[in-house]
Amino acid sequence: MSAKATAIAPANIAFIKYWGARDLTRAIPNNPSISMTLERCFSRCTVEYLRDARVHEVLLAGSGGALLQPPIDFAKRILEHLDRLREATRATGAFRVATFNSFPSSAGLASSASGFAALTLAVAGALGLRLSDRELSELARESGSGSAARSALGGYVQWPAGDDEEHCYAVRIAAPEDWELRDVIAIVDDGPKPASSLVGHGRAETSPYYAVRQSLLPSRLARVRDAIARRCLADLGPVLEEEAIDLHLIAMSSRPPIFYWKPGTLAVLQAVRELRAEGFAAYATIDAGANVHVICDPKSEATIARRLDALIEVRAVVRDRVGQGPRLVDEHLF
């Protein structure tokens, strides 16, 4: 007997970053983070539960629909998570999985966040289980991708909700309808990043500036929460830029250092400053990669996208927005 389910889960962009962990394997972070869930950057994952099988199968869906063998490292993390989910759900069979990303993978655009949230929801769907937001968030986090805990919910999300290591899940702090922010993503490099975020988390505490950032975080967290509650981009923007710079300052001063930026990263940061000088509310943030997310309001979005697209360093621009979070859908990948 078999049962199939397909889930879509969006990526997210962190306003306050997760960087450094108390327990890296289970993604128990050193600090709370806050993100906005996206809409157009998503993973779609189809899972078939094969009750009589013992060995999982993982495939990668190309944009034309072809199913391909995935790179070994990618498949390994998925297989480990499938074993974890099989144990957590007391299932005895195996899973056949195909996954598709609507955007470049491993380029610092949170493909592991959307990928593991979609995988977790699709496995539950194939087993006929209904997960609460909290259960989905905790189970997705157990993949080792902490940001996947935030992709379990739509809108504006904080993770973790409290200090309890055993129950480390995300909560929604505002709905997408509460504040219609846009994210213009300037892709300056669509290749894999030089070091995975897992490597970056592991090295974070070797930076002499790590403790300084930690000491600044409680006030930053409060400022971001407050700006979201008041829908004030002029207050949110400077904090999210400070956070992005500090994340990369920590990465660049870790031992050995990690440089995620490319020349195009600086070109976009410069353009964002010029746009601001002209009166556009545009603020930049960067996860563990070279690509820049420009957070803005709906009325500035088109101009910002056009200006960034015109830069020779920019390969593509994705116009994304705050979104609804994961869901089960009927269109399967196989």
List of residues contacting ligand PMV (CB under 6 A):
14, 17-19, 33, 110, 112-113, 145-147, 197-198, 247, 287-288
> Which residue's CB is nearer to ligand PMV, number 31 or number 300?
31
> Which residue's CB is nearer to ligand PMV, number 38 or number 333?
38
CB of residue 144 vs ligand PMV: minimum separation in angstroms? Answer: 7
What is 76-143 written as a DSSP string? HHHHHHHHHHHHHHT--SEEEEEEEESS-TTSSS-HHHHHHHHHHHHHHHHTTPPPPHHHHHHHHHTT
Judged by DSSP in three states, 235 sits in helix
> Which residue's CB is nearer to ligand PMV, number 113 or number 119?
113
CB of residue 3 vs ligand PMV: minimum separation in angstroms? Answer: 29
Q: Are 165 and 217 in contact (CB under 8 A)?
A: no
> Which residue's CB is nearer to ligand PMV, number 6 or number 145?
145
CB of residue 287 vs ligand PMV: minimum separation in angstroms? Answer: 4
> Which residue's CB is nearer to ligand PMV, number 184 or number 288?
288
Give 240: exposed, middle or buried? Use CB within 10 Å, 0-12, 13-18, 19+: buried
Judged by DSSP in three states, 13 sits in strand
CB of residue 85 vs ligand PMV: minimum separation in angstroms? Answer: 18
> Which residue's CB is nearer to ligand PMV, number 138 or number 287?
287
Stated as kind and residue range, the H or E segment containing 51 is none
Specify the pairing of strand 171-174 against strand 156-159: antiparallel
Specify the pairing of strand 292-296 against strand 182-187: antiparallel
* Token duo for residue 53: 């099988």
Give 55's contacts (C-beta < 8 A, 6+ positions apart). 94
CB of residue 116 vs ligand PMV: minimum separation in angstroms? Answer: 9
> Which residue's CB is nearer to ligand PMV, number 18 or number 280?
18
CA quadruple 70, 90, 129, 13: dihedral sign:
negative
Q: Which of 173, 169, 217 is nearest to 37 (CA)?
A: 173
CA quadruple 301, 100, 112, 128: dihedral sign:
positive
Beta partners for 50?
Answer: 2, 94
> Which residue's CB is nearer to ligand PMV, number 59 or number 258?
258
CB of residue 269 vs ligand PMV: minimum separation in angstroms? Answer: 16
